[in-house]
Amino acid sequence: MNDLSKKTTGFLAEFRKFIARGNVMDLAVGVIIGGAFKGITDSLVSDILNPILGIFAGDNEALAALSIQLPGGGALMLGSFLNAILNFLIMAFVVFCIVKALNRFYKKEEATPPPPPQPSREEVLLTEIRDLLKERT
């Protein structure tokens, strides 16, 4: 029993260490913000884009209501599928823009390399001696 409690304590301690790392916390914040943003994109697609696309489809009904009835009594919910595709494309575009902005930010930081170190006094003297020897010959 004592050996089991050591394993549990070691496992829990390792889990606490894993959770406390910054990357896991950043990921958790990203997931929460992504979930909130999904609600915004769902509303954009269903409340704004669907009625506009419904005008072009020939009626003013929302695109989400588009379905094809099957002979067996089921229905192909094409409108729901198109909504999911639109949501995906919007989310993918936003993620692409965020990653592109972050990459641009990190490139600027990496673009300024540190200046090369100045030669030591010995190197300067050796260079002068080398140059003098070249002049002699």
φ, ψ of residue 38 to 5 degrees: the values are -60, -40
Instruction: Assess contact for 63 and 86: CB atoms under 8 A.
Output: no
- Confirm if 64 and 79 have CB atoms less than 8 A apart: yes
Task: Write out pLDDT tens, residues 93-110.
Answer: 888 888 888 788 777 666
Query: DSSP character for 21?
Result: S
User: Is 60 exceeded by the pLDDT of residue 7?
Assistant: no
Looking at residue 66, the DSSP 8-state letter turns out to be -
Q: How confident is the model at residue 130 (pLDDT cuts 50, 70, 90)?
A: very high
- In angstroms, the CA 105 to CA 32 distance is 23
Q: Which residue has the higher pLDDT, 24 or 68?
A: 68
Tell me the whole-structure pTM to 2 decimals: 0.51
Q: Are 41 and 87 in contact (CB under 8 A)?
A: yes
